[in-house]
Copies of this chain bind each other. A is one copy, B any other.
């Protein structure tokens, strides 16, 4: 498919999405929730059909000798279909942000002014192998009154088609426009290019996947993009930290789950507390099997740790690996984060009010924490409900993007 053919395909999908978005904008909460509930039932009822479609994708992936980690992400199981259906039920239970009026005040002129939340319009979602994103993303986009165009990974095309068919069927049942959910049915790469440059048809692009995919989209898109690239999250243990708290938070931030974007990748420790902090931290980290790579000062306190290279400070391990650096003071910690961080989530552990306030103010990340684990950077934990992604951008929405982030402020 050449670019002009791709543009033509996207013009058609975009035009249909735009028409559907006009209807979705006015859809009442009851209809949207009915669709979510019926879709959850439909996914459960068609489980075997979904698993068969998924088996075709898995077979193809194995034939193509694809990486086992990717095959794991691609696979649907009975439990995963159930979790996908549960996700829709949970989104049905969330409050509808559309039409909510905030900041209603009387002005000196006598007029009463407020801000009403309205949907963004058409959301273009680009993702890789996990088929559950098809259901999750569609549910969040539609509950917030938008239409969506979904472009999943080509390796998951049979699974995505089967899921999208369930969702579209129930749209008709619920009296909502079927084209509010459209799957880009062809796997041609040119279609991604056409989607991210469909100005006037698509209001926002949300990519989810590996760094290279997201970098390419951010570079080439002319439609605004909400994204995060890496999660190189830091915890900084200040001189005045409560040591028991610091240890508990650092261990939680690293070991609670390894493959997630809000896991700690680098621990910074004030030199005054380094000896005690490392003595307290080394045993639980060793017990959990975490490989620690430290700066020379850190290694001086723990002989078992390996030396860190320059590259370590800029690496999102997503694994049982941690880099540790001893710093002179809070300034050096903030400078380290500015230089190597990815703007995702950073936390300071301190009992010192001024140090805590400085960290909150001076660190430029989407989530900045004080005496909390980076693992709390999550839509549910923040009270936003299910999230479609996490934004490290500053325009429109920052941090976890829930239903509210998919509406206009």
A: which residues have CB within 8 A of B?
25-26, 99, 105, 107, 109, 111, 113, 116, 118-121, 199, 203-204, 218-219, 221-222, 224, 360-362, 364, 368, 372, 376, 381-383, 394-398, 408-409
Contact = CB atoms under 8 A, between A and B. Distances in A.
A398 B408 contact: yes
Nearest to A25: B364
**By DSSP majority rule, is chain A's interface helix, strand, loop, or mixed?**
loop
Contacts of A368: 116
Nearest to A107: B383
Q: Give 4 closest A-B pairs by Cβ, nearest first.
A: A394-B408, A396-B396, A224-B224, A113-B382
B361 A99 contact: yes
A118 B222 CA distance: 24
B111 A394 contact: no
A397 B409 contact: yes
Contacts of A116: 360, 368
Nearest to A366: B408
A119 B119 CA distance: 24
Contacts of A120: 394-395
Nearest to A368: B116
Given A107-B381, A376-B109, A382-B107, A118 B25 contact: no
A203 B372 contact: no
Nearest to A383: B107
Determine how many copies of this chain the complex contains.
2
A399 to B, nearest CB: 8
Contacts of A364: 25, 118
B199 A219 contact: yes
Nearest to A370: B112
A111 B372 contact: yes
B396 A395 contact: yes
Given A224-B395, A396-B409, A408-B395, A381 B109 contact: yes
Nearest to A394: B408
Given A376-B109, A409-B409, A118 B199 contact: no
Given A203-B395, A224-B224, A395-B224, A26 B362 contact: yes
29 contacts: A25-B364, A26-B361, A26-B362, A99-B361, A105-B383, A107-B381, A107-B382, A107-B383, A109-B376, A111-B372, A111-B376, A113-B381, A113-B383, A116-B360, A116-B368, A118-B364, A118-B398, A120-B395, A199-B219, A203-B395, A204-B395, A221-B222, A224-B224, A224-B395, A394-B408, A395-B408, A396-B396, A397-B409, A398-B408
A175 B203 CA distance: 40
Contacts of A109: 376, 381
Find the residue from A105, A364, A395, A398 having the highest chain B CB count within 10 A: A395
A359 to B, nearest CB: 12
A381 B111 contact: yes
A401 to B, nearest CB: 11
A224 B99 CA distance: 25
Contacts of A26: 361-362
Contacts of A219: 199
